[in-house]
Amino acid sequence: MTGPSQPMANRYLPLALTHSPTPRIEHFALLAGLEAAVRGTLISAMPLTVYAALGDAQATSVVYFIAGIVALSWGLMVPWATRFVPRRWVYTGGCILYLFGMALAMIGAAWSVPLALVCNAMATATTFVCFNAYVLDYVDRANLGRSQSTQMFYAALPWALGPLTGVWLHDHWAPAPFLLAGVFATALLITFWILRLGNGRQIQRAKGPAVNPLGYLGRFFRQPRLIAGWMFAVMRSCGWWVYVVYLPIFCIETGLGDKVGGIALSLSNALLFAAPALNRMARRLSVRRSVRFAFGVCGLLFVAAGLLAVLPWMTVALVMGASIFLVTLDVVGGLPFLMSVKPSERTEMSAVYSSFRDVSGILTPGAAWLVLWVAPLPGIFVAAGAGLLASWVVAGRLHPRLGIQRPSRGGA
């Protein structure tokens, strides 16, 4: 209603922030874009700050490993927390954890920076679990693909500009990127409350004692479709880890310089602008064909990049080509999991799904450490390609009609 009784403040809010009884896909995309601004600014600045504070690459690796373990454990506890604390306050707590993390990082001390890394990891896990639960509450199954692609589109600019901006600000004043990320985290919190998502839709459950925090893992392991969908998320995230961490190292070791990796990452992230087109393509091909094609080509390109490492620029080009299909998997790779979740398990299974980021953050450095015992750095690209090709095999077992819109039984 736009009559005189409407509060004056609401009349001048941007369209994307005006409240509607049912949140729209664009509302979730706006939240995704703001969180991408937070994380995109930190992705390149945080490693530099950790290394500067600790002064040792081995210590830096240990801190990241510990942060991954904490984030994984914390994320699995979030559904248990939402049984006692309303989801809107849990999400708010995640945003506040971001702010604590920024403040600790700005101190820049050897004791505060590791705590900042842990706080940011916990914040990401918290907001991701709650966000996915909201999406599953309010976005119907047929529109999950469009929701994913719209989120990617809104996140494209922050992910394209964030890494370069973070490094540039860090070079001028070390606390600057964290100050900017704190502004984005505050905007994320304010936007969340303006949208008034509340606690999501309530699903009637059988009366009984609260489920053990990890009890729902048993239900997860009894559902092969969820296991496969989670595996897809882990492997695509491992692909991004290799791209973000080991391609820049490869460029430095082969004499290409320390800026090639950052430029390649920003260019690849700009591909997120094509997310809506990738979603339309996926709907024409079916989710199974799209996911399988992306995993297959991406895996082959990574393997080729490792085998052709004697031509460094060819390796860079092949890995950048693989990133096109990693972006495709960002758009459609999560659909097999999200489309298989039961309504009564939205929050719990969102927590399981969110663990892919932390598991890949532990798995990738661990696997790379083992590979480097027996092979040079390009072997990491080959190993990543092998993992992606394994996902290609598993994707062949997905239902052929997954993601294809079915006609309404009511004839509407």
DSSP codes, 163-184: HHHHHHHHHH-TTHHHHHHHHH
Tell me the two tokens of residue 279: 């979603």
Q: Note whether 337 and 355 are within 8 A (CB).
A: no
Same domain, 290 and 321: yes
Q: In this predicted structure, what is the pLDDT of residue 1?
A: 41
Return the axis-axis angle of helices 25-54 and 57-82, rounded to nearest 10°: 150
**Amino acid identity, position 297:** V
Tell me the C-alpha distance between 172 and 179, whole Å: 13
Give yes or no: residues 283 and 180 share one domain: no
Closest CA to 366 of 71, 52, 53, 68: 68
Give φ, ψ of 347 to 5 degrees.
Answer: -65, -45
Is 48 in the same domain as 194? Answer: yes
Task: State how far the Cα of 172 lies from the Cα of 238, in Å rounded to an integer.
Answer: 31
What residue numbers bound the domain in which 172 lies? 18-199
pLDDT of the residue at 67: 85
Neighbours of 296 (CB within 10 A): 18
Domain boundary among 199, 229, 261: 199
CA angle 390, 391, 397 (to 5 degrees): 105
Predicted pLDDT at 179 = 96
Q: Kindly give the parts of the chain with pLDDT less than 70.
A: 1-21, 56-58, 60-61, 141, 199-216, 258-259, 262, 282-283, 346-347, 399-412
Are residues 381 and 267 located together in one domain of the fold? yes
Residue-level pLDDT at 18: 47
Q: Say what the pLDDT of residue 57 is.
A: 54
Question: Is residue 31 located within the same domain as residue 71?
Answer: yes
Report the alpha-carbon distance of residue 13 to residue 403 in Å, rounded: 35
| Both structure tokens of 356 | 């892919």
**Do residues 77 and 48 both lie within one domain?**
yes
Note the pLDDT of residue 200: 61
Q: How many domains, in total, are found in the chain?
A: 2
pLDDT at residue 290 in the model: 83
Torsion of CA 349, 351, 357, 360, to 10 degrees: -70
Q: Is residue 266 in some structural domain?
A: yes
Residue 411 domain-assigned (yes or no): no
Nearest to 361 by CA among 228, 214, 242: 242
Structural domain contains residue 4: no
Which has the closest alpha carbon to 345: 337, 334, 333, 357? 337
Q: Are 135 and 353 in contact (CB under 8 A)?
A: no
Structure tokens at 180: 């900017």
Cα separation of 315 and 381, whole Å? 9
The verdict on residue 71 lying in a domain is yes
Give the SS3 label for residue 50: helix
DSSP letter at 18 equals: S
Residues 340 and 279 occupy one common structural domain: yes
Same domain as 384, residue 260: yes
Phi, psi of 236 (to 5 degrees): -70, -35
Q: What is the pLDDT of residue 286?
A: 74
| pLDDT score at 106 | 94
State whether 295 and 396 are in the same domain: yes
Tokens of 46: 């945080």
Domain check: are 249 and 347 in the same one? yes
Smallest CA-to-CA distance from 230 within 135, 359, 91 is with 359
Cα separation, 326 vs 235, in Å, equals 10
Give the domain CATH number at 40: 1.20.1250.20
- For 108, phi then psi, to 5°, come to 75, 15
Please tell me whether residues 331 and 185 are part of one structural domain.
Answer: no
pLDDT tens sequence across 244-281: 778 877 887 788 876 677 677 778 877 777 777 777 77
- Domain assignment present for residue 189? The answer is yes
- In terms of domains, do 248 and 330 share one? yes
Q: What is the DSSP letter of 244?
A: I
- The half-sphere exposure of 9 on its side-chain side, counting CA atoms within 13 A, is 3
Q: Is 63 among the domain residues?
A: yes
Cβ atoms 63, 117 nearer than 8 A:
yes
The pLDDT of residue 407 is 47
Q: What is the pLDDT of residue 58?
A: 57
